[in-house]
Amino acid sequence: MWLKISKQLQSCPGGVLHQMSISRLHPGTAMLGTAVQLSVLLSLLGFGKGQMFHMGPCPDPPVQEDFDINQYLGKWYEIEKLPSSFEKGSCIQANYSLKENGKFKVINKEMLSNGKINEVEGELMHMDVKEPAKLGVRFNWFMPSAPYWVISTDYENYSLVYSCTNILWLFHIDYAWIISRAPEMHPETVEHLKSVLQSYKIDTDKMMPTDQDNCPPEM
């Protein structure tokens, strides 16, 4: 992946990264120039094709108090989400469990348009001892973990999850998921959880439902 990205960057006239370094020499135009170049860079990296990216640093919403990961384990069904390039199918679900070595794992599944079941396993970890609801998830050992913040959950019915990554503190890319212990959720609950995100200045306009109909029983 990184080899492909490197070639893409080198193929740009002058090189995007090279232009970004030059812009630092001109303080009066650096911010505007960097913003434009970052837009190009994000496109090359695949961002913007579904991802939600915004100007400024990530929001810092409060997370679930006294979070208990053991109550959180088990299967969750995706109800709605902000669009993401890594989730294209239907019947999306996640199953969290405890491994023999004491670490936590997650298995994500989705059904692709051709009927094939796509499955990926990752590791779930605590990122902040003082705030145990601030988790991280990693699907490749050589990649850094991504934020997985549990904003709100009752463990038995719903969970509201948020993830955000800063890009040089000029942009941020965020994701949000409404997940449920059942394949469907009452519309009023969905709207309430969206309002929680909105209260923390998180844009929900492009949230989209996940199709959980006609899912294979073996999932």
Name the residue ranges covered by the structural domains of the chain: 2-45, 69-209
Query: Taking a C-beta distance cutoff of 8 angstroms, is the pair 180, 157 a contact?
Result: yes
Query: Taking a C-beta distance cutoff of 8 angstroms, is the pair 118, 109 a contact?
Result: yes
pLDDT of residue 24: 36
pTM > 0.85: no
pLDDT of residue 52: 62
Name the CATH superfamily for 69-209: Calycin beta-barrel core domain (2.40.128.20)
Only one residue has tokens 């929900």, namely 204
d(CA 188, CA 184): 12
Q: Which residues of the chain have pLDDT under 70?
A: 1-53
Burial (CB < 10 A; 0-12, 13-18, 19+), residue 66, is: exposed
pLDDT of residue 42: 44
pLDDT of residue 168: 84
Query: How many CA atoms does the CB half-sphere of 16 hold within 13 Å?
Result: 19
d(CA 107, CA 177): 16
